[in-house]
Structure 1
């Protein structure tokens, strides 16, 4: 009997070791070895099958897992839970639900699995339905999952209501509720809750430190950290990361040096801080001191070299790296792309030999930015798995290339869109002057219940500004204020432009004055607004104030202030400002063709056509249609036929497919009674067969923007509109006669 017990004991011990071996191999991803151990076993129990089932599901082998599950001689609740967890981990909800419904018996973990899945994906209605179906609600895990789910959605009051209703609370429950406050930035409520906690552990303290760090309140975080009775390594790393993230590297290094135990995360955080701040030598010193390194360490330092532009050092380090890290490859690829070295980036990309999403996205971004959409599409098509970044980058690339039909087609093919997807499409429509479509995107986005962000509002407001749709713009302004984006810098700049373009320059001034922070775009927006509304002196004064506050002007500033001087008749001031910004060492703004066009317009409006013509002829960029167009328009106003002919000839060379120059030249001849010459020019217009661009106007009526194209008969009330116009014209003729 003793011998038999010994044999059974040895067999049990061997079985236990084999089951543990399968579990370990599965955790490390060595699935083939796990299968080999499983297949070689002459004796298996339910634990053996469950271990192999777990190895399959954790490595994404759901087909193999299901086959094994179906042929198991005996299943327990763990078997069912393991299979359901595998399906949920891979978002196979239908299969998970079918198994869940088929379970002969469920435990608390079974319910928690399904409930946690729905809270994780934010479907609180289904999560609540499962919660209400549970008969025995004493398990704190179920309550904790609901608290976490509501907290993730920012519904702290509902989370607190669940917490208060819990029949049994443990420390995990208290920490779950505390996390609901800290992770939503409600630190005042978190502090009150923390003070009232029945018991605390180091997790509770760490949550408070992390909450303050996330808000950027490092003083409160540091004060809380120093009160922790027995801080652990997570406490140190949380505080250290806060210092690093806010650029306080001296304090971070002081804390790092006094850590009783340093884990690899703390080393990486410190190295990351130095790398992000360009202190690559200090980062390398720490790198060389590290007792052990992981792929994050190597990737961080490689990224640091890329940041400072030392790509050869980054490449050398990548070649020494003992791990395969797609992140490191992606960093180097991005570095080459930023330098415009597409061939080097392609070589690194081809060397990887996998369709890693990060590297593919980097290459797609590089190709789209350089306008090589065919190359970008090839990478996109080859990707085994595409994320939202892949789709959004392609959409933005096609939009930037002016191929909005392809951008829209990709957008419609996307499985799940986010705010960036909509913003990319809106920005594309704006860039291609499809302002109606951009604004429609804003409306459609709301129908899909996707919350707009700062970029969404900026795009929507820009669309309204370009259509002079003031009422719609004001509604967006109110909406932005309601959800807390009106004070955002980008939104504020867009609002200034909106009100300025709609003629409400006073509102633009008020917004500018109320801005908490301003950038160069803020100043430029108001300068351009003054220019657009004919306030030349105000624009010059604002420009002088801008210089006085130490804001360095750029090319947009120069364009705005020149335009203001031109429209305000401030010829001498415009000339002085042009010289000041483009010639003096203080600024040295490089003039663009648009600046020369504005300068020509400045002289032309003042009737100084000869000087304007000399500027146009001697400009650094002769290929400037706007410059010669301004000059030709001024020739008509001042009836200068000689310079008008020269300007028209230049425009004909630049735009042979258009007839606008000839139309103006014909008008000049007609107004000077040169009828024969005017007739010849009109014949030349017909002979050129030029494309005619239709004029377009917008008008806002009854909270709706209407567009009118010249010679457009598709408007439903075209006949009525034409009749009214005819009646008004006849009335004007009678009054004048």
Structure 2
């Protein structure tokens, strides 16, 4: 959480405007008594009541002020203005506007007070509408009116609106007013029009520290660090004394860079000017150090601060959370709870993020209860964090209930639910949410499209992926390397390497993430040569490979059985690039060795690695043991898997049962299956799907639910006749059931991927490519059958199973039968 004042260095302007028009104190107190009598219509009684009313408003006794106001025998415009300002101060805009609308006579103070109410409460559109109404009424705005109006402009304000107010400033002869010029410069900065802001700044007849603060903050916000730094140096050279806002603005400049030394120099200047003990400046320093991962330094400063406020706690709590020190973050939050600071401003959103990361539902619910009590759950950021927390804790019903009750649903909560659905594998639900989001005219951001593209990639919906690609281009997000990388990944997972390569080539800039996306794309599609050459090209471009880069090249080695090359890459991680292999690198390396039958080396590597073998690793060993008929190691791997408390699926039981079945040990196979049933582990249903005309069609083995079932089966029967003539012989060892040979052959014919292929052949033009997806590994017989089918129908058939891509052309497969 940042310091809110630090984000708005022109708060001084707002403060002046609010004092002047909400309290009305300066304009009243400094006027001589006889002038007040004249102002109240020469009625001393009204003047006396107005004095009492002003004191009640000043001390925020709004109920008492309204009681007095209602009891006044006579009132004038000043009386009503004060009551309106009281409601504005208490943020009760409904009663303020109700009273304002009832006024018979309004002066510039009346209009400006009400405009200020909307500006202070983040309603710039209402403020602009009221200002336009003021102009139509014939009341002339003054410099305070413009400063008040402009102070409420934010990121939702359009450049056209700023231009309109600027033209009015000129028309009313206020273009030389310092407070108005500062407000205009700030408004141009907020609408990302820095050129106009800079031009106006240079033309200003006079400047003060606020002028520089606004410009420094504006340039910092949009990443123009050098320009912001020049402005700061210019300010120092012109002998303007830095204020608390200056320090906040310049420290904000430091936060956006890796220049810690500069930030420390600003810290030194704050000490020299005695601003370091100002809580506002100290909070900006806390923010600077925590965001540069100097959390211990920030905590020391926090402990030394003579004055703390709620912002101080928010920053240090957030700093620990970002640093992954969740326990310290939570302990400080508990310490914050016993302070007298406004509980509604506690960092609930951060604590919900901690609960989400830790998947600590109990903690999340406890803090949720506190947020409800303080009504903080009605805040947009807190509501969004709640949705994210419950979704990540897999409480989708609660997440959706909170989401449905959000007063304002920006792209953030939509993206939170979409991304969690994708992470949990609920890709279809994610896409439904995205479509609903579009129906509500909510525009997604970069994160939204990243998650949705992942969903379309996992469903292999290339048509949806291309629609999303068009949206990314239309919204101007293609310049982001992140968007480009996600698109490369999407096209690759949909089997469209041509599109993936094209997207990569069109990227204006390429970082390590972009290169990794391309290297991974080639590896997934089994093109080892392209994987290795891309890895080399990346290094030659001046980038060093990271752990993701090496995982992709090791995967490529695994798909091709390139053991020596895999060992070379694995060893170069530590010896050349000083990278410690992670568990996933060991998993892939062990897979390479086992699949090549080098079980002794694999066992040595398992014993030497700094991790305990997990389910994925032993499952890989077990699968290779089945291929190489290594029953002894298979039993060892299976025993390790069966001991695990949270075995995720039945693959280990199925593999061990199949190993026994292939060896004709039906009794042992039956014991394994019995153990699986007793433990409640269920075999995952194999299914395949294909997208035709923007619709996904899903098939399971021996499926008869599809409307075109009869046509599909006729197509398969006709293909089988042609396949027999080509010499195809069914491999009945793939059907590990204790049934006769004829039944085994019949069962193989209707495996899910063959049903999907037959359906695609019926419903697509001749010669067009076919892309099939399968949730599990394809069997050996299906692999052999699809090779023959690709030759018979003269089509390229791509099958993506749980292991890799297989590209079948003319009777051959891209894997060269090593998979």
What range is the shorter-chain TM-score in?
0.7 to 0.9
Alpha-carbon shift at residue 735 of structure 1 (Å): 5.2
Moved more, 496-505 or 292-301: 292-301
Moved more, 408-417 or 86-95: 86-95
Distance 2:28 2:344 in 1: 22
The yes-or-no answer on 1:349 pairing with 2:336 is yes
Match among 661, 680, 686 for residue 652 of structure 2: 661
Deviations 1:230-254 (A, max 9, x none): 4333333345556777444874563
Alpha-carbon shift at residue 587 of structure 1 (Å): 2.0
The yes-or-no answer on 1:720 pairing with 2:720 is no
Distance 1:679 1:625 in 2: 23
Alpha-carbon shift at residue 467 of structure 1 (Å): 1.4
Moved more, 685-694 or 322-331: 685-694
Match among 614, 628, 638 for residue 648 of structure 1: 638
Match among 261, 271, 289 for residue 240 of structure 2: 261
The yes-or-no answer on 1:435 pairing with 2:435 is no
The yes-or-no answer on 1:77 pairing with 2:77 is yes
Normalised by the length of structure 2, the TM-score is 0.70
Deviations 1:309-341 (A, max 9, x none): 666664554455454422222222334443442
Moved more, 409-418 or 228-237: 228-237
The yes-or-no answer on 1:381 pairing with 2:369 is yes
Alpha-carbon shift at residue 556 of structure 1 (Å): 1.9
Deviations 1:605-660 (A, max 9, x none): 44445544554455443432222222322333344444433333333233667432
Moved more, 297-306 or 534-543: 297-306
Contact 2:116/2:127 (8 A) holds in 1: no
Cα distance change of structure 1 residues 162 and 730 upon mapping to structure 2, 3 Å threshold = same
The yes-or-no answer on 1:693 pairing with 2:680 is no
Cα distance change of structure 1 residues 532 and 140 upon mapping to structure 2, 3 Å threshold = same
The yes-or-no answer on 1:233 pairing with 2:209 is yes
Cα distance change of structure 1 residues 634 and 299 upon mapping to structure 2, 3 Å threshold = same
Give the secondary structure class of the aligned counterpart of 1:424. helix
Long gaps (5+) in structure 2? 1-19, 30-42, 725-819
Matching residue of 1:469: 461
Alpha-carbon shift at residue 482 of structure 1 (Å): 1.0
Contact 1:439/1:460 (8 A) holds in 2: yes
Q: How does 1:238-637 map to 2 (within 5 A)?
A: 238-241=214-217, 246-248=224-226, 251=230, 254-264=233-243, 265-270=245-250, 273=253, 277-279=259-261, 281-290=264-273, 294-307=278-291, 314-315=298-299, 317-318=301-302, 321-337=305-321, 338=323, 339-340=325-326, 341-342=328-329, 344-346=331-333, 348-354=335-341, 355-383=343-371, 384-386=374-376, 387-581=379-573, 583-584=574-575, 586-616=576-606, 618-637=608-627
Give the secondary structure class of the aligned counterpart of 2:691. strand
Distance 1:524 1:336 in 2: 31
Distance 1:76 1:709 in 2: 82
Distance 1:159 1:318 in 2: 40
Cα distance change of structure 1 residues 367 and 95 upon mapping to structure 2, 3 Å threshold = same
Contact 2:606/2:613 (8 A) holds in 1: no
Cα distance change of structure 1 residues 663 and 111 upon mapping to structure 2, 3 Å threshold = same
Alpha-carbon shift at residue 511 of structure 1 (Å): 1.5
Cα distance change of structure 1 residues 388 and 617 upon mapping to structure 2, 3 Å threshold = same
Alpha-carbon shift at residue 425 of structure 1 (Å): 1.8
Contact 2:526/2:559 (8 A) holds in 1: yes
Give the secondary structure class of the aligned counterpart of 2:413. helix
Contact 1:243/1:251 (8 A) holds in 2: no
What number of residue pairs does the alignment pair up?
Answer: 672
Distance 1:82 1:711 in 2: 80
Deviations 1:70-110 (A, max 9, x none): 33322333444454555566665554554455444455666
Contact 2:111/2:131 (8 A) holds in 1: yes
Distance 1:51 1:458 in 2: 61
Contact 2:57/2:65 (8 A) holds in 1: yes
Q: Name the structure, 1 or 2, with higher relative contact order (CA <8 Å, separation 6+).
A: 2
Distance 2:393 2:28 in 1: 46
Cα distance change of structure 1 residues 560 and 104 upon mapping to structure 2, 3 Å threshold = same
Distance 1:255 1:431 in 2: 50
Distance 2:153 2:270 in 1: 41
Moved more, 410-419 or 115-124: 115-124
Alpha-carbon shift at residue 348 of structure 1 (Å): 4.0
Cα distance change of structure 1 residues 514 and 732 upon mapping to structure 2, 3 Å threshold = closer
